[in-house]
Structure formats: structure tokens, C-alpha cells
Amino acid sequence: MNFNFELILFYATVITGLIALFDILFLAPRRKRKAGAEAKAKLPIIIDYARSFFPILLVVFLLRSFLFEPFRIPSGSLEPTLLMGDFILVNKYDYGVRLPVVHKKLFGEGKPARGDIIVFRWPPNPSVDFIKRVIGLPGDKISYINKELFVNGEKVPQEMLTSSIFEDENGEAREAQEKQENLLGVKHKIFIDPKKSSRDYYNIVVPEDMYFVMGDNRDDSADSRYWGFVPDKNIVGKAVLVWMSWDSSKTGIRWGRIGKAIH
């Protein structure tokens, strides 16, 4: 079951705010008259909670709606760049400020760049958030042949680094080739599973206001190769920083990843 935390936070902020406002305007003066000028009237528990929590909820709602929102990496589709258990901050204003809940852009003309890692609402089910790397911009022609990328007819270079072991989403250990890919100037690491076959794609043209995205763990990622393009309106923001990382297999904090910038 997927919970829309943004909507829950919005309703909680509105409800506590209305209760607090109603109390300030109508109930508090009545209590004061009834209790006497010097006596301090005791607040009903619901009103007490509403007035206490409303400022906190409002600040959290504004921060996560317009500045930064925290996310947890739930899968290994972006390994080795992002690991399962990473907690990241997502910049909400680089691509334009949007209204919360309805997600209508208010202002700002920023657009994702090739190589950016973005969080977006998954097109087949917008209640689910996905995170992938931008490979193709509007108008780009993308091919993926024998596990190699071609952007606008130009082959994206891959340099072999080492062999690695990673855990897939089922917790099974798998071997992968760790390579460095140069995505037209954006260098980043990828995983290729030599034992797993992949489908080839030829000259996919990215439509206007759409983006083609892929995971860095190329053979263990559900991305645009399988379910299509990401509309600009579905974009939540740009992943910028790992603020916490928890290794569940070792039940410990990955201290070396805290504060790591995301590229």
C-alpha cells in the first residue's frame, strides 16, 4: 500500500490550522470570560494539540514543498551511484517551483540536464515515486545496443573498472562489471550484468516535454526502456545529497556516505 505523505501532511496542516484559528477567534475569548480575568483556562486536549503541532507541521510542509524533500532509496536500480538504504535530499526549486498537491508550476524555467538524477512520479502510477538518471532530453534520439548507449548517433564511452558483487531487489548476490560511463561530458559509474540479456532499442526519439531515464544498474532497473518517457509535469526534483545511509545487512550506518554529493 502506498501512502501519499504529501497529501496527509497537507490535510494535517490545514486541519490543525483551522482548529487553532477557530480557537483563537471564538473559543479562547469565551474561555477567558468564563474563567475570569486572572484565571488561566485549561485548553481542551484537541485544541491544545492543534495549537502545538500546527506551527511545526506548517514549517515542515513549506520546507518539503518548496525547498528540499527527503527520500529513501528503496532499490538497487541506481547502484553503484546510490545504494539501498541511502537517504537523500531532493532539490525542489531547480526545475521550477510547483504548488504542492496539485503540482502546477508557479515560476522558474529550469529544466533537467542530461546526467541529472531526478525523482519523479512514475507515469504508470503517479502515486509511486521513482528515481533515475536522465539520459535523453526532448528531441534526443536514443539507442541502446549490446548494453551500450548512443545519444544522437554518438556512442557513449564506457571504461571497464572492476568486477563487483551487488544485491538485487530480492537480496540475492549477483556479479556485475563496474564501468565508468561518459554521458556526453557527465562521468558516472554503472553496473553491467554480463550474464543477463537485454533488449536492444534503436533510434527512440524523445517527445517534447518528455525525458528518457535509466538506472545506473543497467540490468536491474525498470526504466524508460520498459514503461516509456517521463513527462515534465511528473518531475519532483533533483537528487543532490546523501544525508544518511543505513546498511541493513550489517545493521550499521555507512558513515563515509553521509554528506556525499550526488552526481
Catalytic residue among 32, 42, 52, 77: 77
Query: Which residue type is seen at 255?
Result: W
Annotated active-site residue 40? The verdict is: no
CB 161 within 8 A of CB 138: no
Cα distance between residue 161 and residue 30, in whole Å: 73
Cα distance between residue 30 and residue 24, in whole Å: 10
Q: Quick check: helix, strand or coil at residue 83?
A: coil
CB 28 within 8 A of CB 69: no
Q: Quick check: helix, strand or coil at residue 89?
A: strand
Cα distance between residue 36 and residue 29, in whole Å: 11
| Entry field: residues in the chain | 263
Catalytic residue among 32, 65, 92, 132: 132
Please report which residue ranges of the chain form alpha helices under DSSP H. Answer: 5-22, 28-35, 45-66, 224-227
Annotated active-site residue 164? The verdict is: no
Query: For residue 109, what are the CA distances in angstroms to 95, 96, 98, 105, 171?
Result: 7, 6, 11, 9, 41
Sign of CA dihedral 206, 211, 215, 221: negative
Which residue in the block uniquely carries the three cell numbers 485544541?
Answer: 47
The residues assigned a catalytic role are: 77, 132
